[in-house]
C-alpha cells in the first residue's frame, strides 16, 4: 500500500452540496482547493437524496419579521437569530447560484426563474410536473400550512443527477476532487489545524493532506439507521474536529423520519401530515385516531408517546386509491430525489393505497444546525478549521426543524461563507509542516485496525451501537435513567471495542472508522441529552416534561478537554432572542405546549 | 436481499454502478470486466446503482440485511 502526500491551500472534506459549494467558492476566490469524498462526489451526500430548497424573498411578498417570528416559535426561543437571518436573506442569492450552475429546479409556468414553487399547504401543483391535481391528491404534505406554520416556500429539485451537475461545476472551477478517500484524523500545530490523514477505501493507500484551511462538510451524525439518504453520515468530520478540541453545539437534539416498517428503505414524509387535515389516516394499535387527543404536538413526539403508553403500533390507514387512475402520477413520483419508493413498496409486496401498514419514527441522529460550533464566517474555535452544511453548529433551527428545505439552503449558504473565509485565511497564513514523527503517528491511528490480526469486527460494534441508540425509548422518549444506561454501554464500546477494532480490508477499515466516530458521537448525544433537564420542541424528557425557561434558554456546548475528558457547558441565548417571557406557557408555546399527561 | 443481482450477461463493464454506490458495496472485477456485489451487508437500498445502470443489469431488493433495529 502506497503513501500519498498532498498539499493545498484549502482542503474540503465531504462532497455533498455544502462541500461542492465551498470548493467552488474558495477556488474562485483564488485558493488551490482539494475536495476529498469517501464515496463518489456527485452520487452522495444528503443533498443527493433531498428534494426541497427553502426560498425567502421580500420582493415576492415574504415578510421578514413574520418569518423570523415563526422560526422563533417553532424553534421554541432558542434559535440563533443571527444565523436564522442569514439563512433567510441569503437563500435567494445562493439559489440563483445553483440555477446558474444548471441545477434543475422545476419551473412553474408563470415563473421564469423557478420551475415550481411550493408553499407549505399549497396544493395547486401543476399535474404536468409530476404531482396530481389537489382534488385527486393521493399524497399529503408534511408541513401543511396551519394556524402556526404560515410561512414557507420551497423549490423542488429534479431527479438525483443534480449532484453530478455540482460535481462538474467543482471540476470546472479548477478544484481537484479525490473520490473514495476517507479522512479520519486532523493534526494541529501552534493551535492551528494544518492537515488531515486518511486512506483510500479501495486501494488502502494512506493519505496525508496538508492545508492551510480545512473545511468539514461531512454532514450529520447518523447511526446507519433507517432514515433514508443519511446512512453514510457517521459524523466523521464532527468527531475528528472534536478530537482536536473543536466545540460542538446542539448535539442533544435529534431529528426523525417516518419509516415504513415492512419496507425500511422507504421513508414517507410526503403522505403523512404533521398537523392538519389528514390526521384521520393514522391510528394506534386499538384502531383509534389518537392524533386529535393532544392537538399541539408534532408527530415526531406524539407517535412515540402513544407507543410508550402501550397503545402501539402505529398504522397508516390505506387511502383506497385507484392505482390505475393515478398510474401516471405514481410513475412521476417514483422519479423524485427521495427514490423510487413506489417500486420499492411493490417489491416489498406492500400496496400503501390499499393495505394498512405500520410506520415508525426512525432516529435520524443529529439535528439541523447541530454540529461544530461556528461563527458567521463558519470558523470553528480552532484557527483554520471551518464547518459547513449539516456538520456545522449554527443553532438556527433550535430543537426542531424550522423550515422545510432550510437544510439545503443552509448547505449552500454556509458553503459560500466558508469558501470565501477559508480562502482568505489560507492566503494570509504561512504553511506549517507536520514532522515525520507526527505523520507516522497519524498513520498508525488511521491504519491500525488493518494491521491488527485479531480484535472486534466493525459489524459487531455497529450492531451494538444501533441496538443501544435507535430504539425510541433511548433518544426519542427520553429518561435520565435510560440515558445513563445507554451511556454505560457507550463507555464500554469506547473503552473495550474501539481500541481493538480490527479490519480485514480497506472497506472494513472504513467501517471501523465510521463506528469509531459513532461511538464518540453517540456518547456526546447521550450526555448532552442527559445534561438538558427539560423538554423543548422535539426534545422530550419523560422525567422533565415541561420547558424550563428559567434555566434552559441556553445552548449546550461540548468539547474534549486537554485530558481527553468530555466537557459540557451552556451558553445563554441572548435576552433579546428569548421571546416574551411574560406570556403564559400555553401562549408562549402555542404549537406544542403539552406532551400529553404531565 | 439488498442489492441482489448484477446480471453478468447484461453488465457492460461501464463502472457507473461502482461510482454510484455511497456505501462501497459494489466493486469492479478487472479480470471479468464486470461489476460485482462485494459487501451486500452494507447496502442501504438507496437504489442509485439500479437507477443509474444504463443496461438494466442491477436489481435492488428494498429490505436491508441485516435489518436495522426499528424504533419500536
Chain B positions in Cβ-Cβ contact with residue A231 (cut-off 8 Å): 22-23, 44, 46
Spacing of C-alpha A265 from chain mean position: 17
pLDDT (0 to 100) of residue A596 = 67
Burial class (CB in 10 A: 0-12, 13-18, 19+), A211: buried
Cell 429546479: give the residue: A105
* Domain boundaries along the sequence of chain A: 3-251+369-428, 255-362, 444-552
B9 touches chain A (CB under 8 A): no
- SS3 state at A211: strand
Q: Does any CB of chain A come closer than 8 Å to the CB of residue B72?
A: yes
The third-level CATH classification (topology) of the domain covering A3-251+369-428 is: FAD/NAD(P)-binding domain (3.50.50)
Predicted pLDDT at A322: 67
Task: Report the topology of domain A255-362.
Answer: Flavocytochrome C3; Chain A, domain 1 (3.90.700)
Strands of the sheet containing A117-119, edge to edge, are A52-54, A153-156, A117-119
The pLDDT score that the predictor gives to residue A346 is: 87
Residues 6+ apart with CB under 8 A from A383: A191, A192, A193, A425
- Distance, CA of A442 to CA of A186 (rounded, Å): 9
Give me the pLDDT at residue A70, please: 86
Chain A 226-285, residues with CB within 8 Å of chain B CB atoms: 226, 228-229, 231-232, 259, 261, 263-266
Q: Do B22 and A266 touch (CB under 8 A)?
A: no
Predicted pLDDT of residue A250? 96
Residues A97-156: tens digit of each pLDDT: 987 887 776 544 433 333 333 322 222 233 333 333 333 333 333 333 455 556 666 666
Flag residues of chain B having pLDDT under 70: 1
Of A145, A240, A123, A144, the C-alpha closest to A193 is A240
Q: Are B72 and A360 in contact (CB < 8 Å)?
A: yes
Mutate to test the interface with A, among B3, B22, B35 (most CBs of A within 10 A): B22
pLDDT score, position A143: 36
Which pLDDT value is given to residue A60? 74
CB A270 within 8 A of CB A257: no
> What pLDDT shows up at residue A297?
56
Identify whether the C-beta of residue A577 lies closer than 8 Å to the C-beta of residue A527: no
**Cis upstream peptide for B66 (omega within 30°):** yes
Chain B residue closest to A475 (CA)?
B71
Which residue does chain B place closest to A46, by CA atoms?
Answer: B22
With CA atoms as reference, report the closest residue to A553 among A18, A77, A25, A68: A77
User: All 3 cell numbers of residue A400?
Assistant: 426542531
Question: Would you say how long chain B is, in residues?
Answer: 72
CA distance B57 to chain A (A): 16
- Tell me which residue in A201, A264, A472 faces B67 most closely, judged by beta carbons: A264
| Per-state percent for chain B, helix, strand, coil, to nearest 5 | 20, 20, 60
> Given A179, A264, A345, which is nearest B64 (Cβ)?
A264
Tell me, what's the pLDDT at A303? Answer: 86
CATH architecture of B3-60: 2-Layer Sandwich (3.30)
Contact B44 A472 (CB under 8 A): no
SS3 for A543-578, per residue?
A: CECCCCCCCCCEEEEEEECCCCCEEEEEEECCHHHC
CA–CA–CA angle A371, A377, A381 (5° rounding): 55
Report the residue of chain B nearest A164, measured CA to CA.
B20
Architecture of domain A444-552: Up-down Bundle (1.20)
Which residues of chain A have a pLDDT value below 70?
105-159, 268-281, 292-299, 318-322, 325-326, 328-330, 332-333, 335-338, 592, 596-598
Contacts of A232 in chain B (CB under 8 A): 22-23, 44
Calpha distance A521→A366 (Å, rounded): 9
- Other beta carbons within 10 angstroms of residue A562's beta carbon come to 7
Q: What is the ipTM of this complex?
A: 0.97
Q: Testing the interface with B: which of A16, A19, A38, A40 to mutate, by most B Cβ within 10 A?
A: A40
| Strand (E) or helix (H) holding B52 | helix B48-52
Amino acid at each position: 500500500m502506497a503513501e500519498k502526500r498532498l498539499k493545498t491551500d484549502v482542503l474540503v472534506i465531504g462532497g455533498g452540496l455544502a462541500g461542492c459549494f465551498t470548493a467552488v467558492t474558495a477556488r474562485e476566490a483564488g485558493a488551490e482547493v482539494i475536495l476529498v469524498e469517501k464515496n463518489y462526489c456527485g452520487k452522495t451526500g444528503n443533498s443527493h437524496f433531498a428534494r426541497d430548497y427553502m426560498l425567502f424573498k421580500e420582493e415576492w411578498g415574504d415578510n421578514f419579521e413574520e418569518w423570523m417570528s415563526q422560526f422563533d416559535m417553532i424553534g421554541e426561543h432558542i434559535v440563533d437569530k443571527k444565523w436564522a437571518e442569514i439563512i433567510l436573506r441569503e437563500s435567494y442569492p445562493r439559489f440563483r447560484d445553483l440555477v446558474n450552475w444548471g441545477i434543475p429546479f422545476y419551473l412553474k409556468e408563470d415563473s421564469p426563474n423557478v420551475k415550481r414553487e411550493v408553499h407549505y399547504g399549497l396544493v395547486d401543483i401543476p399535474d404536468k410536473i409530476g404531482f396530481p391535481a389537489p382534488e385527486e391528491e393521493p399524497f399529503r404534505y408534511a408541513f401543511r400550512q396551519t394556524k402556526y406554520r404560515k410561512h414557507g416556500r420551497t423549490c423542488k429539485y429534479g431527479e438525483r443527477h443534480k449532484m453530478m451537475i455540482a460535481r462538474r461545476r467543482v471540476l470546472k472551477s479548477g478544484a481537484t476532487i479525490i473520490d473514495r478517500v476517507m479522512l479520519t484524523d486532523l493534526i494541529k500545530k501552534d493551535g492551528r489545524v494544518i492537515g488531515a490523514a486518511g486512506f483510500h477505501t479501495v486501494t488502502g493507500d494512506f493519505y496525508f493532506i496538508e492545508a492551510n484551511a480545512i473545511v468539514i462538510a461531512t454532514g450529520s451524525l447518523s447511526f446507519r439507521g433507517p432514515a433514508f439518504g443519511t446512512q453514510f453520515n457517521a459524523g466523521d468530520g464532527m468527531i475528528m474536529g472534536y478530537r482536536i478540541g473543536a466545540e460542538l453545539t446542539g448535539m442533544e437534539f435529534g431529528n426523525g423520519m417516518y419509516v415504513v416498517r415492512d419496507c425500511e428503505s422507504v421513508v414517507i414524509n410526503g403522505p403523512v401530515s404533521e398537523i392538519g387535515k389528514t390526521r384521520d389516516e393514522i391510528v394506534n394499535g386499538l384502531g383509534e385516531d389518537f392524533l386529535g387527543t393532544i392537538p399541539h404536538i408534532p408527530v415526531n413526539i406524539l407517535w412515540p408517546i402513544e407507543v410508550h403508553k402501550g397503545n402501539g403500533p402505529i398504522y397508516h390507514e390505506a387511502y383506497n386509491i385507484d392505482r390505475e387512475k393515478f398510474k401516471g402520477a405514481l410513475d412521476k413520483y417514483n422519479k423524485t430525489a427521495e427514490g423510487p419508493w413506489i417500486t420499492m413498496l411493490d417489491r416489498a409486496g406492500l400496496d400503501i393505497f390499499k393495505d394498512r401498514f405500520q410506520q415508525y419514527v426512525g432516529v435520524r441522529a443529529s439535528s439541523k444546525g447541530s454540529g461544530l460550533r461556528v461563527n458567521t464566517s463558519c470558523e470553528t474555535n480552532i484557527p483554520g478549521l471551518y464547518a459547513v452544511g449539516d456538520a456545522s453548529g449554527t443553532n438556527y433551527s433550535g430543537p426542531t426543524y424550522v423550515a422545510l428545505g432550510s437544510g439545503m439552503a443552509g448547505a449552500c449558504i454556509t458553503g459560500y461563507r466558508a469558501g470565501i473565509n477559508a480562502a482568505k485565511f489560507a492566503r494570509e497564513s504561512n504553511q506549517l509542516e507536520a514532522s515525520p514523527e507526527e505523520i507516522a503517528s497519524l498513520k498508525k491511528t488511521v491504519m491500525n485496525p488493518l494491521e491488527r490480526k485479531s480484535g472486534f469486527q466493525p459489524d459487531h460494534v455497529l450492531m451494538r451501537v444501533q441496538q443501544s441508540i435507535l430504539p425510541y425509548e433511548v433518544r426519542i422518549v427520553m429518561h435520565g435513567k435510560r440515558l445513563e444506561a445507554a451511556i454505560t454501554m457507550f463507555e464500554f464500546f469506547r473503552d473495550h471495542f474501539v481500541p481493538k477494532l480490527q479490519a480485514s480490508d480497506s472497506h472494513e477499515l472504513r467501517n471501523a472508522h465510521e463506528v469509531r466516530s459513532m461511538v464518540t458521537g453517540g456518547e456526546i448525544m447521550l450526555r448532552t441529552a442527559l445534561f438538558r433537564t427539560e423538554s423543548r420542541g422535539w426534545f422530550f424528557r419523560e422525567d422533565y416534561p415541561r420547558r424550563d425557561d428559567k434555566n434552559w434558554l441556553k445552548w449546550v456546548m461540548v468539547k474534549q478537554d486537554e485530558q481527553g475528558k468530555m466537557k459540557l457547558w451552556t451558553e445563554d441565548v441572548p435576552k433579546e432572542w428569548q421571546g416574551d417571557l411574560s406570556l403564559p406557557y400555553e401562549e408562549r408555546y402555542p404549537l406544542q405546549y403539552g406532551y400529553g399527561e404531565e | 436481499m439488498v442489492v441482489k443481482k448484477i446480471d453478468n450477461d447484461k453488465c457492460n463493464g461501464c463502472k457507473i454502478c461502482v461510482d454510484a454506490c455511497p456505501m462501497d458495496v459494489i466493486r469492479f472485477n478487472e479480470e471479468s470486466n464486470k461489476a460485482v456485489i462485494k459487501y451486500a451487508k452494507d447496502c442501504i437500498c438507496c437504489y442509485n446503482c439500479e437507477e443509474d445502470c444504463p443496461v438494466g443489469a442491477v436489481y435492488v431488493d428494498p429490505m436491508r440485511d441485516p435489518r436495522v433495529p426499528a424504533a419500536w
